[in-house]
Amino acid sequence: MSIKKRFIFVFFLFILAQIKAEDGYDLWLRYVPVTDAKRLIEYQSLIKSIAFYGHSATIEAAKEELNRGLKGLLRKNIPLSKTGNIIIGTAQNVGLSETIVSQKSLKSIGNEGYIIGSKNANIYIIANTDIGVLYGTFHFLRLLQTNQSIHQLDILEKPLVKNRILNHWDNLNRHVERGYAGQSIWDWHRLPDYIDPRYKDYARANASIGINGVSPINVNANAQTMTPQYLIKIKALADVFRPYGIKMYLTARFSAPIEIGKLKTADPLDPSVQKWWKDKVDEIYQYIPDFGGFVVKANSEGQPGPQSYGRNHAEGANMLADALAAHGGIVMWRAFVYEASKEDRHKHGYNEFKPLDGQFRKNVMVQVKNGAIDFQPREPFHPLFGQMPQTPIIPEFQITHEYLGQATHLVYSGTLFKECLASDTYAKGKGSTVAKVMDGSLDGHELTGVAGVANIGSDRNWCGHPFLQSNWYAFGRLAWNHQLDADKIAAEWLFLTFHHSGEKPVSSQAFADNFMIPMRQILSNSRENMVNYMTPLGLHHIMGYGHHYGPAPWVDFGSRPDWNCTYYHKADSTGIGFDRTAKGSDALSQYHPSVSAAFSDIKTCPEAYVLWFHHLPWDHKMQSGRNLWDELCFKYYGGVESVRNTQKYWNNSSQYIDKQRFEEVKMLLTVQEKEAVWWRNACLLYFQTFSKKPITEGYEKPDKDLDYYKNLKFPYAPGN
Ligand code: GCW
């Protein structure tokens, strides 16, 4: 071994000796030592000392983060000095000349963007605001974390969407609706005096990916949250979040004026109700001067709303919007509404909201789920996207995996988010993507946003499954820039999360070849694989009743027709699928004619959506040449096989990563494999009672019968 090599080897061992155990708590902010010797030399020569400009809690947060990051990455304290060569602050505080950062660039980055540039021996992280400075600092750290060169930096970043918000479905008793990672992280009992250090780490994680809003409490709302007893607790959280650029939002219970205000009505046109909300909003701003506004679920799944008083959604939303307007607050009014009626559930949101386009106040956004039913493993985009040009639309994605395995399945949702964002609504001709509806460019809206239903709980690793942190990460990264590639985000997350976590040294090359390449592929296919073993070819809503855990396509005992699985798959002796063409429910007519024509024609409808929109005979010939039944078998069996392949890769990866997370994921993959088989067997055995066809020759046969699966009960399934 040459002296140089020996040195590198010893250095490596030295660093490894100092690494603490990995348990997932640090998320993607691990700041482990840079081991690439060439890069380390580069970083050490270019990062000599730091000059921070400005004084604010946000600048302090940036300083603290950079310190923490550099200490971990470079294993040394980089001094702060007025003459530092890393110059960080707002352009105004730094007092930069035009030759370093042009006014034009500064203008282009807006309130939250930043510039990272090199000039002579200096590196500049510059923004218009302190929060831009913090975002730039996180970006700079990410460059080092991912071993990128910091020579000749020329980065200009700004978010494409203004309000990037996490919606928690956490109840005041700490139960998380559709949460699978333990209790709520909000410890209401001990707030406001006990500030769990997690709150700050949560804020750091969010800021690092650009999330700038949090609605901490369930949309199935509780009026208590707006009482002084809770407002003081919420204020304490808001105080922790503020330096990280995170605004606080609350879910507003529409009947709060009755429940906590002692009024007789919550009618939005009643002056006493309007006054009550105005006073309440003023009071909230006393606690939280930069309060963001309300998220509202009204007249949906039993929640109160304006319709109880013969008023429509716009009248309800506008009342709240008026109360918030003076303070600059906004309303995010959800379009997730459907009632028990003969009409296809797919059509309800559109039918109720489309006619209200143009009737909402300027500070109202209509919050639309990615698809028309409910966060299924795959849904075509919601027909409201592109169809309410006068109203700012905020898409809502589900980061938590209610319908995607309830946090025991390794499934990356970045590809799901991206699939929806890339969908073309054709509202203004080809290229009118959902992303353009979201970023306001399609219809010229200034008010823009995106919401994600959080998958965070008090589990040590935050998200229950080590890999599901990737979905929080991907949501934030895409919220900031929807043009990013979902695969690249997955790779970035993988590297940040796992690199250099193994117990024995491995070369970067070996890590890249044997961990990064296969795992990136696995992440990138994971959602499609899940669709295959759960709901292939456009099947949807065939999960367990109420708790939504596991397969139960036989459910026909729901208290409402649209809570039955049979309502959605419509399997019978003639075939399977929901006819939403003009011959059926005609939900397709809600899309732009170009979209509806493509989806209506069986020849052009993507097979991924075919049973979503069509009822097809069991013998229908698919593109593969197989008949529909055999295609279903092919998909279900293929889905299970893909989980088994993932297991094989994973089992070979132990030497590249830490033991704890390796073992956790290994066990979870065992669960996933069993559940994939469960989904496959239960669904095929059930659908077989209609198709009367045998499971394709050559496949392993289900080892249990249909009754076995039908008799499984889960009264204590989590998240319910
Ligand atoms: O997906 C469904 C969930 C409900 C949820 C609802 C909603 C908060 O099963 O638990 O309620 O959506 O989005 O309002």
Query: Which DSSP state fits 89?
Result: E
Q: What's the mean per-residue pLDDT of the chain?
A: 96
User: What pLDDT shows up at residue 164?
Assistant: 98
698: confidence class by pLDDT, cuts 50, 70, 90: very high
What gap in Å lies between CA 622 and CA 394, rounded to an integer?
A: 36
How far is C-alpha 42 from the chain's CA centre? 35
Would you say the CATH fold of 529-578+615-710 matches that of 31-157? Answer: no
What gap in Å lies between CA 537 and CA 531, rounded to an integer?
A: 8
* pLDDT tens by residue, 641-672: 999 999 999 999 999 999 999 999 999 999 99
Query: At a CB cut-off of 8 Å and minimum separation 6, what does 14 contact?
Result: none
Which two structure tokens, joined as six digits, stand for 259? 């429940």
Ligand 1 atom nearest to 403, measured from its CA: 1
* pLDDT tens by residue, 295-353: 999 999 999 999 999 999 999 999 999 999 999 999 999 999 998 888 999 999 999 99
The topology under which CATH files domain 31-157 is Chitobiase; domain 2 (3.30.379)
Indicate which residue of 301, 601, 663, 700 is catalytic: 301
Q: Is the CB of 396 under 6 A from ligand 1?
A: no
5: confidence class by pLDDT, cuts 50, 70, 90: low
**Most ligand 1 atoms within 8 A of CB, residue of 170, 171, 177 to mutate:** 177
Q: Is the CB of 403 under 6 A from ligand 1?
A: no
Q: Is the CB of 168 under 6 A from ligand 1?
A: no
User: What pLDDT shows up at residue 100?
Assistant: 85
Q: Is 301 a catalytic residue?
A: yes
Query: At a CB cut-off of 8 Å and minimum separation 6, what does 660 contact?
Result: 21, 22, 23
9: confidence class by pLDDT, cuts 50, 70, 90: low
Domain 529-578+615-710 coded CATH 3.90.1330.10:
yes
Which two structure tokens, joined as six digits, stand for 637? 């069996």
Ligand 1 atom nearest to 177, measured from its CA: 10
HEC secondary structure over 9-56 = HHHHHHHHHHCCCCCCCCCCCCCCCCCCHHHHHHHHHHCCCEEECCCC
Which two structure tokens, joined as six digits, stand for 672? 């996933």
Superfamily of domain 163-485: Glycosidases (3.20.20.80)
User: What pLDDT shows up at residue 12?
Assistant: 53
* pLDDT tens by residue, 519-545: 999 999 999 999 999 999 999 999 999
* pLDDT tens by residue, 558-585: 989 999 999 999 999 999 999 999 999 9
Among 425, 430, 532, 418, residue whose Cα is nearest residue 482? 418
User: What pLDDT shows up at residue 475?
Assistant: 99
How far is C-alpha 140 from the chain's CA centre? 23
Dihedral through CA 205, CA 211, CA 212, CA 214, nearest 10? -80
Give the least confident one: 20-34, 451-465, 481-495. Answer: 20-34
Which two structure tokens, joined as six digits, stand for 649? 């890769």
Q: Where are the domains of the chain?
A: 31-157, 163-485, 529-578+615-710
Ligand 1 atom nearest to 169, measured from its CA: 8
* pLDDT tens by residue, 142-198: 999 999 999 999 999 999 999 999 999 999 999 999 999 999 999 999 999 999 999
99: confidence class by pLDDT, cuts 50, 70, 90: confident
Q: Is the CB of 397 under 6 A from ligand 1?
A: no
Give the least confident one: 12-16, 132-136, 605-609. Answer: 12-16
Q: Which helix (H) or strand (E) holds 449?
A: strand 449-453
Q: Is the CB of 402 under 6 A from ligand 1?
A: yes
Q: Is the CB of 336 under 6 A from ligand 1?
A: yes
Task: Note whether 112 and 212 are within 8 A (CB).
Answer: yes
From residue 313, give the alpha-carbon distance in Å to each of 149, 162, 306, 317, 343.
52, 24, 6, 6, 19
Q: Is the CB of 549 under 6 A from ligand 1?
A: no
Q: Is the CB of 379 under 6 A from ligand 1?
A: no
Task: Note whether 575 and 617 are within 8 A (CB).
Answer: yes
User: What pLDDT shows up at residue 35?
Assistant: 87
Q: Calculate how far, in angstroms, residue 218's C-alpha sits from the geometric centre of ligand 1.
A: 9
First-to-last CA distance in the chain? 60
What gap in Å lies between CA 716 and CA 714, rounded to an integer?
A: 5
**Residue nearest to ligand 1 atom 2, measured at CA:** 374
Is the pLDDT at 13 greater than 70? The verdict is no
2: confidence class by pLDDT, cuts 50, 70, 90: low
Q: Is the CB of 563 under 6 A from ligand 1?
A: no
User: What pLDDT shows up at residue 396?
Assistant: 99
Give the total residue count for the chain.
720
* pLDDT tens by residue, 599-622: 999 999 999 999 999 999 999 999
Q: Calculate how far, in angstroms, residue 303's C-alpha sits from the geometric centre of ligand 1.
A: 11
Q: Is 374 a catalytic residue?
A: yes
From residue 184, give the alpha-carbon distance in Å to each of 249, 459, 507, 715.
17, 9, 40, 21
Q: Name residue, tokens 């649209």.
A: 562
The pairing of beta strand 114-119 with beta strand 154-157: antiparallel
HEC secondary structure over 345-392 = HHHHHHHHHHHHCCCCCCCEEEEEECECCCCCCCCCECCCCCCCCCCC
Q: How many CB atoms lie within 10 A of CB 215?
A: 25
21: confidence class by pLDDT, cuts 50, 70, 90: confident
Ligand 1 atom nearest to 548, measured from its CA: 9
User: What pLDDT shows up at residue 51?
Assistant: 96
Which two structure tokens, joined as six digits, stand for 363? 């500070």
Among 244, 43, 224, residue whose Cα is nearest residue 150? 43
Q: Calculate how far, in angstroms, residue 519's C-alpha sits from the geometric centre of ligand 1.
A: 31
Q: Is 201 a catalytic residue?
A: no
